[in-house]
Structure 1
Amino acid sequence: MGASWWSARTPYQSDVRAALRQARQDAYDRGDFCRDEPSAEALAMTEEEYVARHMADMLADLPQELLDEAWEPEDSEIREEWRAAHVKVTGPDTLLDAQPFSGTHSVIDMVGVGDEPGERLVTPLPGETLDELFGTRRPSVAAVEEAVGRCGIDGFGRDQGAYLVAHDGDRPAFIYFGGHSGD
């Protein structure tokens, strides 16, 4: 499927971490995410049965030269797949636990706030980018909504996001989050 662009906004609050938690919960409550169905096969088997089945399939597909070298494939991802199928989804964090390899293609994939770009983090949109996009470091709500609707906000990698504060006059009004995530 590939990564998807997403955006979210919350009313302004000085605690960006709390705003991100709220944006994630709001997206979950609205169903604004992609959801993988749990593996019916994993649900029908014990963990050991599931691992044995998939390891056998993996070994059957390996070139003979790897098998001759007594190479042992790793089963941790298979175990993680089985465990993910058994997660009871009750909120944004358990949703991520239930689909560790695909993400949700939404703000739910962002789990923290950082100063520097990092995996699953939102960071402040750099001042130079604000100047370039809006001509100011205090963009209006209308300007931000227009930019988000037109092209999104870019400048970060896959499985990363950014945030910025939109203003109503001199007052901070909203925190916008945007990013690319999911697979």
Structure 2
Amino acid sequence: MGASGWHYYVPYRPDLQAALAELRRNVFEAGDYWWAVPYEFGKSAADFPDRPRTEDDLWADESVQESGTHSILDMSHVLTDGEEPDYGTIQPVTEAEALERVGVAKLTRAHVEALEPLAERRWFGRCAVLHDPAGDPREVYFWGFSGD
């Protein structure tokens, strides 16, 4: 099947780990992920009434562990300054990266396309705080690639 790209916009929260946790909860509850057990491509878990009812149940299956969910559920942790990117982690865009990519430190939705190449590794994601025209943080953009 290969890795799938995914992206999400969520309301801004200063605690990016809390924003990730809420996003993961929403995606799981909505069934907006690929469930490896039935191996039916082109369908989401929402298409199956017998899908797992908890994330622990989902990840207990070896097929899911190997194939992932092709969604944000494959990511578990937002890195803090100094932490090295690893499997299943989300790295925030740094000010230096923002300046290099788009020439400004306060990113907006208009910059998303220029930022997307920063998520170049599979099973790894990125996030960026996006600002409104007045420069106030409004949302967090999560994106990356995962799944096999």
TM-score (norm 1): 0.63
Residue 165 of structure 1, aligned match among 123, 129, 145? 129
Q: Which residue of 2 aligns with 1:26?
A: 26
List aligned pairs for 1:89-100, cutoff 5 A: 89-98=52-61, 99-100=64-65
Instruction: From the superposition, tell whether residues 170 and 125 of structure 1 become closer, same or farther in structure 2 (CA, over 3 Å).
Output: same
The amino acid that maps onto 2:66 is F
Distance 1:19 1:177 in 2: 10
Distance 1:12 1:92 in 2: 24
Q: What fraction of aligned residue pairs are identical, expressed as a percent?
A: 34
Q: Which residue of 1 aligns with 2:43?
A: none
Unmatched 5+ residue regions in structure 2?
40-50
Does 1:111 pair with 2:76?
A: yes
Distance 2:143 2:117 in 1: 6
In the TM superposition, what is the alpha-carbon distance from 1:106 to its structure 2 partner? 0.5
Instruction: From the superposition, tell whether residues 94 and 171 of structure 1 become closer, same or farther in structure 2 (CA, over 3 Å).
Output: farther
SS of the residue corresponding to residue 121 of structure 2 reads: coil
TM-score (norm 2): 0.76
| The structure with more radius of gyration | 1
Q: Deviations over 1:62-93 (max 9, x none)?
A: xxxxxxxxxxxxxxxxxxxxxxxxxx722344
The amino acid that maps onto 2:18 is A
Tell me if structure 2 keeps the 8 A contact 1:25–1:91. Answer: no
Distance 2:27 2:117 in 1: 19
Distance 1:156 1:126 in 2: 16
Q: Which residue of 1 aligns with 2:147?
A: 182
Moved over 4 A (4+): none
Does 1:132 pair with 2:100?
A: yes
List aligned pairs for 1:133-152, cutoff 5 A: 133-144=101-112, 147=113, 152=116
Instruction: From the superposition, tell whether residues 155 and 126 of structure 1 become closer, same or farther in structure 2 (CA, over 3 Å).
Output: farther
Unmatched 5+ residue regions in structure 1?
40-87
In the TM superposition, what is the alpha-carbon distance from 1:157 to its structure 2 partner? 1.6
The aligned length equals 131
Distance 2:105 2:73 in 1: 26
Tell me if structure 1 keeps the 8 A contact 2:91–2:125. Answer: yes
In the TM superposition, what is the alpha-carbon distance from 1:153 to its structure 2 partner? 4.2
